[in-house]
Amino acid sequence: MDLTGVFVPLITPFDAHGDVAVDALIRLAYETLEDGATGLVALGTTAEPGSLTPAEQDAVVDAIGRVCEERGAPMIVGAGRAAATRRPVAAALVMVPPFVRAGEAGVEAYFARLAADSAVPLIVYHIPYRTGQQLSPPALRRIAQLPNIAGIKYATGRVDADTLALLASAPTGFSVLAGDDVVLAPLLAMGAHGGILASAHLSTHRYARLVAAWRDGDVPTARELGLPLAHLSHMVFAEPNPTVVKGVLHAQGRIPTPDVRLPLLPAAPSNVDAVLALLD
C-alpha cells in the first residue's frame, strides 16, 4: 500500500448543545480534500475519541467515510473502530500499547497478532512520550516487515540517528509518516513519505505543496515552505491538541463552536488570535 502525502486527522466538531456536529464534520472533510489532502483520519487522537460514545464514534467514521468514498480518497481509522464501519477503510491506526511498557518483544508480538487478525492493513502509531515505550530501529524494522503492516506514524518528538536508521532501512511498501508536525520538513528531507498532521486542518494546500516539493526534488520550494509551516505547527500546539485548531476553525466560521470535552479546556483567545494573524 502506498500511503504518501498529507493525511488530516479530523477534529470532532460539537454544536451548541454539545452534540457531534455531523454536517460541519462533512463540510470540513470536503474542504481539506479539496485543499490538497491525500486522505483523512477518522478517530485519531485529534478527534478526542476517548470522550465520544460508541454511537458518536460510528457517526464520525460514517460521515468521513462517506466523503472519502465519494472523492476516492483513503480513510484511515483509529480508536479500534475500523471494523465497525461499512465504508471502505484503507488502514487502521493503532498505537503502541501505552502505560504497560511491554518491552520490544511484547510490542512486536502484539502487532503480529493484530495484523494477522485485521481485515485491513495497520499503521503503527509510535509516540513514546505518551506511551512510555521507546522502540529501537531494529525493533521497528522487524515490525515493519510483518505482513499487513502498512506504515508508521512516527512521533518520537525528535529527529536523530534512530530516525535516520528507520528511514534508511524501511522495507519497500512501508510508509513512514511524520506524526510531530513541527519536524515534518526535516523528516521529508530524510525520506519520509508524508505525515498525519493536525496542523494541516489549516493551510492544507501549503502542507500538501511541501510534501510534493520534497517528493519532486524541488528543494527551493521545500525550503521556502518548511520554516513557516514549522512555525505554524509550533503555535498550533501551544496548548493541548486539538484546542487551538478548534479555536481557529471556529473563528474562521468552519465549525459551530470551539468546544472540546473534558479533560480538555478551550484554547486561550490569545493563542487562537496568534495563529489567525500568522495565517493572514
Retrieve residue 83's grid coordinates: 471494523
Q: How far is CA 124 from CA 130, 181, 194, 196, 256, in A?
A: 14, 17, 15, 12, 33
Backbone Cα Rg of the chain? 18
Q: Catalytic positions, please?
A: 125, 153
- The count of C-alpha atoms lying within 13 angstroms of the C-alpha of 209, restricted to the half-sphere facing its C-beta, is 14
Question: How are beta strands 122-126 and 149-154 bridged, if at all?
Answer: parallel
Which residue is listed with cell 509518516? 177
Which residue is listed with cell 502498512? 150
**Are 158 and 147 a contacting pair, CB within 8 Å?**
no
Is the backbone of residue 163 left (phi > 0), alpha (psi -120 to 50) or beta?
A: alpha
Q: How far is CA 141 from the centre of its chain?
A: 21
